Each structure stands twice: as C-alpha cells, then as structure tokens.
C-alpha cells in the first residue's frame, strides 16, 4: 500500500467480500496512531471513474470503519481501493489493490440431480452453477463432491 500522512494513521486490516452476486462489504480499522478526530472515506476504481462508498458503517465513535456497495461486478483484473482521511492534524491516504473475483463468496450450486443405474454402481450427478458476478472466470471454479453412504 501507498501511505501518506502521520505514521500509523492509515487504516489497518482492510478487507472486502462480495456476496449475493453484487453486494460488497469492506471493513477496516483506524490506524493505531490515528488522531481521535480522524475520519476515513473509501473510494474504489474499476472501469471508469472512482466511486465513493454508498453506505458507510460507523463505529461507536461515529468514525467510518466499513462500507457497503451495491451492483458490483467482479470482472476487473485489479481494482484500486483508496482510503482518504483527514483530521485537524493531518491528511491520511492509503491505496490497496484487490482482484475482486478472489473475494467473491459464491452461493452453493442449485438444481442438484442424481440419476443412478438399478444397482447404483454408476450415478450421474448434475447441477447448475451458482450465479456469480464474473462469468469470465469459469476456469477458476472447481467443484468437489463428497458422497456418503448411510
């Protein structure tokens, strides 16, 4: 990350997760040496212009420590996240880069169908792939089947 401002004022433990195909939650912690009045603002840039957080998550002191985005597509190779902050004492700046498809939490496959022969020696199992925001990354998905006999 690229940092500017007072040492220790930039955010820590930044992470994001995409779920339900197009919703993204990002969270962070205030820098350990951030001034008490420090406030943080999150922007992300994929294709096109930078977009500021649509809905901030605040801590008990009213400081922004998270964000919720809607209508996110995970098709970008690297996405730039920029956290700007300010206090009466200093400016705060931090940049992070994330490949969004790596943080997408998929729903389980649906419409699972099992068809076996009479002896149940051979079975054909089919399913519908879970919906995801990035259809270009089909090669990145693997499925594991665990068969248990009861």
Distances (CA, A) of 14 to 4, 27, 39, 89, 135: 16, 6, 15, 23, 26
- Going through the chain in order, the beta strands assigned E by DSSP cover 2-4, 12-19, 23-29, 39-45, 51-52, 55-58, 64-69, 79-86, 91-98, 110-116, 123-128
What is the predicted pLDDT for the residue at 15? 93
Per-residue pLDDT of the chain (150 residues; tens, 9 = 90+): 444 566 778 889 999 998 887 889 999 998 888 888 889 999 987 666 788 998 999 998 899 999 998 887 766 567 888 888 888 877 787 888 887 778 888 778 888 898 988 887 888 889 888 776 665 555 566 778 887 875
Please name the CATH architecture into which domain 12-102 falls.
Answer: Sandwich (2.60)
What is the predicted pLDDT for the residue at 2? 46
DSSP code string of 108-136:
PPEEEEEEE-TTSSSEEEEEEPPP-S-GG
CB 133 within 8 A of CB 19: no
What is the predicted pLDDT for the residue at 66? 95
41/87 Cα distance (integer angstroms): 12
What is the predicted pLDDT for the residue at 140? 63
The side-by-side arrangement of strands in the sheet containing 51-52 is 2-4, 91-98, 79-86, 39-45, 51-52
**What residue ranges do the domains of the chain occupy?**
12-102
138/62 Cα distance (integer angstroms): 41
């Amino acid at each position: 990350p690229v940092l500017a401002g007072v040492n220790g004022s930039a955010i820590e433990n930044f992470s994001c997760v995409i779920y339900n195909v197009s919703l993204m939650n990002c969270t962070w912690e205030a820098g350990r040496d951030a001034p008490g009045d420090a406030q943080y603002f999150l922007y992300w840039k994929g294709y096109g212009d930078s977009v500021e957080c649509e809905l901030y998550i605040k801590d008990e002191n009213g400081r922004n420590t998270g964000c919720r985005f809607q209508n996110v597509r995970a098709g970008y190779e690297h996405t730039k996240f920029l956290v700007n902050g300010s206090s009466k004492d200093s400016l705060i700046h931090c940049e992070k880069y994330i490949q969004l498809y790596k943080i997408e939490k998929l729903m389980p496959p649906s419409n699972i169908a099992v068809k076996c022969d009479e002896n149940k020696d051979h079975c054909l199992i089919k399913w519908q792939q879970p919906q995801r925001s990035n259809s270009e990354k089909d090669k990145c998905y693997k499925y594991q089947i665990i068969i248990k006999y009861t």
